[in-house]
Structure 1
Amino acid sequence: MPRTVEATQRVPATLAGARLDQAAAELFSDYSRERLKAWINAGDLTVDGARVKPKTKLHGDETLDLCATLEEEGRFEPQAIALDVVFEDDAVMVINKPAGMVVHPAAGNPDGTLLNALLHYHPEIAQLPRAGIVHRLDKDTTGLMMVAKTLPAQTALVEQLQARTVSRQYDAVVIGTPVAGGTVDAPIGRHPKDRKRQAVNASGKPAVTHFRVVERFRAHTHVRCKLETGRTHQIRVHMAHARYPLIGDPIYGGRPKLPPGAAEPLKEILREFPRQALHARKLSFVHPHTEQTMTFRAPLPDDLLMLLDYLREDHATMR
């Protein structure tokens, strides 16, 4: 059932001159800034009983009244889908997502998603926005995701993402052989002609990806990427922009590159690899309750291990 949230705070002198949305984020810290801003716009969070705009400047000593409804994710059905739970306590879950699982229902994927699985696994999570999901992975990207089980935990984890204090590392197998690692610092936004794609775009949002070489093959490279930001398709877009697109990427990858003289099994796997070769291998964040830094690792899935074995064998045979 939907839950009503009611709270009152008096604005201290230390917040005199602050905008309402900024002060609200500090005084009602259990909720995200986006949620509070929506409540302000809806008139659910008022100043001295009056409905005002989020940018309204406060003088101090005003009374902020919050009366809002937390809606359940009621339109989505719980489904008994197996989850690989790496860690769980009363506040947080860490999931190792398989390839092929969509994170959130959308057009073309109305069910069978991580959200549907979470609603079955932990029904109380329906009270949270997006069933506690804090960040996303693409459908065919494997690896670690954090999910909150309480609203304060979700708010804290979202704030860590926004502050760029969550550490996320990915393994990728790319086309091409970079001499060394590097950094791609290029804004990402919607592709100007194809709305389903992202692109390096001067009017996009800042995006920074660091990468280093793990293992180099004849025409491909195993790289490790670290995100500073979390834009949609960021690693896929940035590595393609650097002219090292991911193997198997149906949107940004281009044509497979077959090493000269490669054996038929390697040619086949390079032509037919069914997804972008990307895996979220390591995740670190500060636990919202204990304030301890927690780090998790997920081993490479079988399909990437097999791909690397073929590339390694080819490299050893042909050098």
Structure 2
Amino acid sequence: MQFRRSDLADLSAFLEIARRRSFRKAGVELGISASALSHALRGLEERLGVRLLNRTSRSVTLTAAGEALQQAIQAPFDEIAQGLDVINRFRDAPMGRVRINIPTEAAIYLVGPVMAEFLKRYPDVEIEISVSNRMIDVIDSGFDAGIRYGGTVPEDMVAQRVSPDVRWLVVGSSDYFERHGVPQSPEDLLAHQCVRIRIGDDSIYRWEFERGEERAEINAPGALIVDQIEVGLAAVRQGAGLFYVAEPAVRDALADGALQAVLQDWAPVGPGFHIYYSSRRQVPAALRLFIDLVRELRPLG
């Protein structure tokens, strides 16, 4: 078939719809209405003579033809985007866009503190930060990179360290310890009230401890389960129980006495934050600038 100039825009729109599985979300990303996207996609399907998407009121899925088209054109479109990004080398001021998926702790203690300086240095770069503790496929979800603790980075990704290793502590309020006593060993936690945390793979985290060659893993008991550390810490400050948390998140609370750490001789040290991205794509210039700035400013030391 003859290739039309409008086909390029419509194919790009199709890829965004296929990635998002939603006309509304794709429209937000592309800056056009869902109805305009639907009209463009319908026109593309008519010109190609095949249905690319199955549409219902609740979902959008790819047909077999749609899956085949996505696989055939995704790589060439990625190469075009990478080629355009190369132009940044010839600009006085970098331009572009970068999207990063990060957990709450990274947002508060690693990324937030560098944002003002990043925007000051690179005013023409648009950076989008999506905060979620859920483990997702960052590439399939349309992100350029993700940030996670080193031990949870997917193995097929390129990872770069952006913070020191992290010490993990058990903390509680003085009021809690007055009422329930202080645990002397990890096993003592089984008799305490604990605030448990649901992690990115949807499991309840088992608290890990080490002292020399000794190792312990505790399924901490407790009626409160959270998936955001700030919620857990707010409850713990009011005496709700004990919490297992990265030291940077409670550094100020420990310093001013709002919280106390226990079992410190059992406190393990784990890999710090790493930023990761696909090994099959060229790293966008804006992402390289972001990584370099985090390493320069070192908000977590």
Question: Highest relative contact order (Cα 8 Å, sep 6+), 1 or 2?
Answer: 2
Quickly name the TM-score band, shorter chain normalised.
0.3 to 0.5
Q: Which has the higher helix share?
A: 2
TM-score normalised to the size of structure 2? 0.34
Between structure 1 and structure 2, the one with the greater Rg is: 2
| TM-score normalised over the length of structure 1 | 0.33
